[in-house]
Structure 1
């Protein structure tokens, strides 16, 4: 666990960046969209819009190809953000490379205490597979984090969606053992928020009194409520959260200007 961030009587400002899908080559693109350029543009937008940041969360699919050069490019790109960054793997990532680099660079933690909140960082990736699963080790991490949080409120971060999102093609690619996950949360009154990436779209729901948030990708967007794979023309973006000391959550999604980064409209998968 890292050293606590901020004072427990103050709000915590968090920026979530997710699904940047960088490649070893800075010139590569995903479905016709330059993912490196779009990430840089989103970081510039954060710098313009959020004057004080306490921490940055990168919630998986940092890279598309799992190459170490792509991870180092991500680290260099987010370095101008004036806050520590923590990351978790997604299905396109190489979790072992992320763990090694994350240990060296201070990006990998089991959980982080910030203000009056504990932020739990889970690895839901399955090597070589698209859906997610939380191993017994990860579920035990979650339980330890909840049990030792004392009076802090708890936010849980993972890559894969733990609830259906209304996309026929995407719903089977979420967290396969979601009920194991929810069984740990339902008995924990201090858990207030679950945050994820993976779905390349904005979502804001509630389950059992817990806020559920997902965030647009910094590159390609997926169409909501689609039966088959479909991209969307909405712009890349990020999420800002303010976690208040009384457990209240303020959040908004911000996007780049419309039309600046668009994927190939004929894309049928990636």
Structure 2
């Protein structure tokens, strides 16, 4: 973005929850996956629909984003067969994409080579080292992993001390760029139930405050929301599920279009929610224009 007129357009999506493939080996279900599969078969497969996610992808293509940021939960069970399906889905997207895992993608404790490693092309080549940092134009994208295996009926997350320190370093070394932190579990309060929260939310919010960021994107809640990182004015933006069928406007399938540019010595951020309406037509929903200071090195 060498000139004020230049603009970067980014698509923000999350919680695609692609359908679980047919029968899975019984040995792979003798853990928390059994409960998640039961939830999928009894209810969630009627709410997360491929025809809806296809509409979202088609609408993104019409807007020609420079990048797509996928904030996790592309699977339901974190099974290798699901990641094989997800790999094909990601390759068909209409723009280069970056991904961070959600709680469903790391549902049980196992080697990343059993599935998550297939997402490496969209995580700067590693499913083990977070955060990763990638840049284009004057934008720095910082991918954080908050997903950890949890007990049944829990879906909390944790970034951890070591990754937190690397996050701080990444924020400091990219100062002066428009820094976007992408993390599945929101580093904020009241956005999800206690059993789904980020365990070290206070610590991670403090790191983001200390290092600085221009925007934090999350998923997990299945709700459209815009608040701020605690004790800062940094926008914390959530998005509803890419595949969700719901009668509630804030939970209907959508994606967020983010238009970023430099204007008069500051960052200009235009947020436009692209929402699947009652008549199955995509339309503009929530919109917001933000003017953000450029934080020099």
1:20 and 2:11 are equivalent in the alignment: no
Q: CA deviation at 1:98?
A: 5.5
Q: CA, structure 1 residues 241+180, in 2 after alignment: closer, same or farther (shift >3 Å)?
A: same
**Number of the residue aligned with 1:146:** 171
Displaced runs of 4 or more, over 4 A: 26-29
**Number of the residue aligned with 1:33:** 47
SS of equivalent to 1:71: helix
Aligned with residue 56 of structure 2, among 14, 17, 42: 42
Q: How many Å separate the matches in 2 of 1:235 and 1:201? A: 8
Q: CA, structure 1 residues 247+98, in 2 after alignment: closer, same or farther (shift >3 Å)?
A: farther
Aligned with residue 193 of structure 1, among 215, 236, 239: 215
Kept in 1: contact 2:17–2:48 (CA 8 A): no
Q: How many Å separate the matches in 2 of 1:57 and 1:154? A: 13
Which residues of structure 1 form unaligned runs of 5+?
Answer: 1-6, 223-230, 262-270
Kept in 2: contact 1:241–1:252 (CA 8 A): yes
SS of equivalent to 1:187: helix
Q: Superposition pairs for residues 56-135 of structure 1, below 5 Å? A: 56-94=68-106, 96=112, 97=114, 99-103=116-120, 106-109=121-124, 110-128=132-150, 129-135=154-160
Kept in 1: contact 2:48–2:245 (CA 8 A): no
Q: CA deviation at 1:118?
A: 1.2
SS of equivalent to 1:248: strand
Aligned with residue 136 of structure 1, among 144, 161, 175: 161
Q: Superposition pairs for residues 258-269 of structure 1, below 5 Å? A: 258=278
Q: How many Å separate the matches in 2 of 1:120 and 1:14? A: 14
TM-score w.r.t. length of structure 1: 0.78
SS of equivalent to 2:54: helix
Kept in 1: contact 2:65–2:95 (CA 8 A): yes
Q: How many Å separate the matches in 2 of 1:72 and 1:239? A: 26
SS of equivalent to 1:82: coil
Kept in 1: contact 2:216–2:237 (CA 8 A): yes
Which residues of structure 2 form unaligned runs of 5+?
Answer: 24-39, 125-131, 282-297
1:182-208, Cα deviation, whole Å (9 max, x unpaired): 22122234x111110000010012341
Q: What RMSD in Å do the two structures reach over aligned CA positions? A: 2.7
Aligned positions, number: 240
